[in-house]
Structure 1
Amino acid sequence: MLKLLALDRFTISLFVMVLLASFLPVSGHAAEVFATVTNIAIAILFFLHGAKLSRQAIVEGILHWRLHAVVFAMTFLIFPILGLMAKPVLVPLLGETMYWGFLFMCFLPSTVQSSIAFTSVAKGNVAAAVCSASFSNLIGMFITPVLVSIFIFGQSKHDYDPTRSILEIGLLLLLPFIAGQVLRPVVFPWMQKMPSIVKKFDQGTILMVVYGAFSGAVVAGLWHQVSLLTLLYLCIACSVLLTVIMLLSLYIPKWLGFNKADQITVFFCGSKKTLASGVPMAQILFAGQPLGMIVLPIMIFHQIQLMVCGIIANYWSKQHSENNDVKAK
């Protein structure tokens, strides 16, 4: 049955994390410790990616401007347009406040660790994914508040200084990546002896982020503020949005003539929205607003995108292995 449903251990683990967070959420001091451990895991993941990639691959990834332009357009142009077009349908179903959250989600940058993780699992262009996802988050610190002030508030009501967030991203992601590059001559030979270690850190980090983020929302009383019918409408809206954006992310790079590895990178980087950066930004931009209602759409969308991308990434990985086996024969 699991095989027919295209479910594997990782996808099942994602469901388990959501259920665990719903019934046994981490909170208080334990949540702070867990967040620290999660950040350490993310730093180790980027250190391993830095050690894994050759200098030539990184340079090629940085210079691949056409790919980055497509991901940027998907993230900050097509997503917002779809969110704005959905307003006449979603406001009566979700209410104005939750629609704000849905639109805010469309304004957010792409994910970093999960985009890279899924690209790696699916055998895509990891170097380009690192550059594209990191650039998306950095530029999103400036673009997202502007879009929120224009299309949600109508005018800027909050001062937003992205300097601290940019520094935190640099310390958490870029610095370990550079350290991995510097130590690559020492670390990479060791990694070759254990080729599955990066994949395990990819998947383990995603599971930790899912559990920690969902726990925070549950502790804040999320399930006491939203009716089941509204939650159903929101799940349907997020699923429809993800379906549309994934189809566009799948076919646009094909129409533009990208190779298979780059198509995979655009698909995973261009179809995602970040939860890790989204919640802190929401706390700043929507001060005084019902934050639980604002962040619920990105919480739901994030879970759906991870589960769907987990299935697709593993399918493409198996397909890649089968193709290599055929070529070997």
Structure 2
Amino acid sequence: MRRPHLPARLPLDPYILALLGTVGLAALLPARGPAATAADSASTAAVALLFFLYGARLSTREALDGLRHWRLHLTVLAATFVLFPLLGLAARGLVPGVLTAPLYGGLLFLCLVPSTVQSSIAFTSIARGNVPAAICAGSFSSLAGIVVTPLLAAALLGGDAGGFSPDSLLKITLQLLLPFLLGQALRPWAGGFLVRHKQVLGYVDRGSILLVVYAAFSAGVVAGIWHQVSLPRLAALLLVEAVLLAAMLLLTWHGAARLGFGRADRIAIQFAGSKKSLAAGLPMASVLFGAHAALAVLPLMLFHQMQLMVCAVIARRRARDPLPELAADRVADVSPAPGRPAPHAR
């Protein structure tokens, strides 16, 4: 029996290391007093900048062109905003025996955030799937998440996410929706600049998120919330997240087959429908949870690294699968010519 071939190196995302370093810095040197106020103000500005850049980068024309594959996009949206939340709600039975209430709140929030874009495209490309569909599906998910994620969080997380109070809705509008719409409006003028300076703006993106993480975890350290988490609870959280990821990978792959999608589309659906965006989830959590954002984003940070490692293995295995047309060609090559016996009959 041939042993399965695993990649030589599992992808430990350097950015995850930077995030962990930021968490460590917040644990050792948390922002207090005036420094905390300054960090919170800077974090608010960073969130607005992030969503402005998201809006300015999303091509409206590409999004409209992608509507032609509407069944695939609806399938990904259903996986992201229906199946994931249902599984998250089902995990409520694990409280308090397996997960604490704050950790469960973070797990449920993880189930509500939109899909990631970059890694979905990368893994779909490696697996020889439908890359244009993955691009559009990830973009649609990010766009829908601007509105859907806060509404789902308010409905399912209740007071922990601020509810439907006028203050929380105003914060969502000012920090998320308004900058995004402004970016879309200025895209005709800002789009070229963003393309030319993509690498520099990537550092701005990541630096902004690190600032958000530092502010959130500093507030958590000052409030003493880390006393609520023990190593056995973290181990239990990792196990629950592994089951969640496995369930979504299986549901998206086999569910897409039942819906009649071909191999290339199934790959795009599996990678876009089973993953969650750390880049979108972190700033949203800072707006929705405020001082409680530290524990709310911990499950998302762990899930992000887990999904990268698991999906890297799956993508490379899919890349070695014979494409349907190639398999058909090989069958035709060994098919007996008319009047000649089949090879096994000789």
Q: Distance in 1 between matches of 2:253 and 2:41?
A: 35
Shift, 1:138, TM fit: 0.4
The amino acid that maps onto 2:301 is Q
**Paired residue for 1:175?**
182
**Paired residue for 1:138?**
147
Once the two structures are superposed, the pairs formed by residues 21-170 of structure 1 within 5 Å of their partners are 21-38=26-43, 40-41=45-46, 54-61=59-66, 65-95=70-100, 97-98=101-102, 101=105, 104-105=108-109, 109-111=112-114, 115-116=116-117, 118-119=119-120, 125-148=134-157, 160-161=165-166, 163-164=169-170, 165-170=172-177
Does residue 308 of the first structure (1) align with residue 306 of the second (2)?
Answer: yes
Comparing 214-223 with 269-278, greater Cα deviation is found at 269-278
Please, what TM-score do these two structures have when normalized by structure 1?
0.67
Aligned-partner SS, 1:173: helix
Shift, 1:94, TM fit: 3.1
Q: Distance in 1 between matches of 2:246 and 2:313?
A: 17
Q: What whole-Å deviation, never above 9, does each CA across 1:22-45 have from its counterpart, x for those lacking one?
A: 222334433443444455555555
Once the two structures are superposed, the pairs formed by residues 204-283 of structure 1 within 5 Å of their partners are 204-249=207-252, 252=255, 256-257=261-262, 258=265, 264-269=271-276, 274-278=281-285, 280-282=287-289
Aligned-partner SS, 1:93: coil
The amino acid that maps onto 1:24 is L
Q: Is the 8 A contact 2:30 2:218 kept in 1?
A: yes
The amino acid that maps onto 2:138 is A
Please, what TM-score do these two structures have when normalized by structure 2?
0.64
Q: Is the 8 A contact 1:105 1:298 kept in 2?
A: yes
Q: Distance in 1 between matches of 2:163 and 2:267?
A: 43
Q: Distance in 1 between matches of 2:20 and 2:82?
A: 31
Distance 1:74 1:182, change over 3 A: same
Distance 1:201 1:64, change over 3 A: farther
The amino acid that maps onto 1:101 is G
The amino acid that maps onto 1:146 is A
**Paired residue for 1:187?**
193
Q: Distance in 2 between matches of 1:183 and 1:84?
A: 41
Shift, 1:316, TM fit: 10
Percentage identity across paired residues of the two chains:
27
Distance 1:213 1:168, change over 3 A: same
Distance 1:187 1:218, change over 3 A: same
Shift, 1:83, TM fit: 2.8
Q: Distance in 1 between matches of 2:316 and 2:39?
A: 33
Comparing 137-146 with 62-71, greater Cα deviation is found at 62-71
Q: Distance in 2 between matches of 1:202 and 1:250?
A: 31
Distance 1:48 1:143, change over 3 A: closer
Distance 1:20 1:175, change over 3 A: same
Give ranges in structure 2 of 5+ residues lacking alignment: 1-7, 126-130, 318-346
Give ranges in structure 1 of 5+ residues lacking alignment: 284-290, 320-329
Distance 1:206 1:87, change over 3 A: same
**Paired residue for 1:6?**
11
Distance 1:49 1:262, change over 3 A: farther
Shift, 1:304, TM fit: 0.8
Q: Distance in 2 between matches of 1:126 and 1:36?
A: 33
Aligned-partner SS, 1:145: helix
Q: Distance in 2 between matches of 1:206 and 1:235?
A: 23
The amino acid that maps onto 1:232 is A
Larger radius of gyration: 2
Note the aligned Cα RMSD (angstroms).
4.5
How many residues are treated as equivalent by the alignment?
299
Q: What whole-Å deviation, never above 9, does each CA across 1:164-188 have from its counterpart, x for those lacking one?
A: 123431223231243233433x526
Aligned-partner SS, 2:283: coil
Q: Is the 8 A contact 1:94 1:233 kept in 2?
A: yes
Shift, 1:278, TM fit: 3.6
Q: Is the 8 A contact 1:10 1:310 kept in 2?
A: no
Distance 1:227 1:309, change over 3 A: closer
**Paired residue for 1:299?**
297
